[in-house]
Amino acid sequence: MSFLGLSSSKPRPSRTSGSGSAQQRQYLDREYVEQTLGSGNLRLAVHLPDGEDLSEWLAVNTVDFFNQINMLYGTITEFCTPQDCPVMSAGSKYEYHWKDDTHKKPARVSAPVYVDHLMSWVQSQLDNEAIFPRKIGVEFPPDFKTIITDIFRRLFRVYAHIYTTHFSAIVSLGEEAHLNTSFKHFILFVKEFSLIDQKELGPLSDLIDSLLAQAKN
């Protein structure tokens, strides 16, 4: 089935609530996110806005994509079970094992377990004020972009699993346009800021080429 046919379970607590102090950073404000990311020309939408701090812009998009992917995966959880997906994969050639500070040795786990670990890990990064400072005037860490690239590299794997394993379910739910738009936005952003090595994008290389070609038109 073609991916280019061109919503949901309980999401994790959103990082984009605008209920905090006026002294909080803009990326924590949902209204700001909606204004800056919008739904217009995606190629233009990924550009760093004039006068915007790069780290702030990376943070805005990290939070937004985390929420998008969390919601998209939530639509297919009934199809992605330990029985149906005993390993986290993206087709027959790509298998992903989980590793973090708790799991020192890469572990072969089911797709739902992998995604749960991943979403919990990303949330822990977002909640760590040494990485994502909440207050204006507090600097982002010097290795912030390195941390961001690791987050995006792993979030890509959820898109890859959805497309290669659950796309028929996405179509049955009428979510393919939503998925394609989200992934196109994700890839344009990744390319704009060189966040993922080309080899990591291998599972969806043909789809990515098609989406980038469309973006040029």
Which residues fall in the annotated binding site for Zn(2+)? 80, 85, 161, 166
Positive or negative, the CA dihedral 190, 195, 198, 202 is negative
Question: Which residue ranges make up the annotated binding site?
Answer: 80, 85, 161, 166
Tokens of residue 49, six digits: 């806005």
Distance (Å, rounded) from C-alpha 166 to C-alpha 90? 10
CA distance 78 to 96: 21
Assess contact for 97 and 109: CB atoms under 8 A.
yes
Q: How far is CA 124 from CA 65, 104, 121, 149, in A?
A: 15, 17, 5, 16
Closest CA to 68 of 188, 163, 166, 156: 156
d(C-alpha 217, C-alpha 10), whole Å: 37
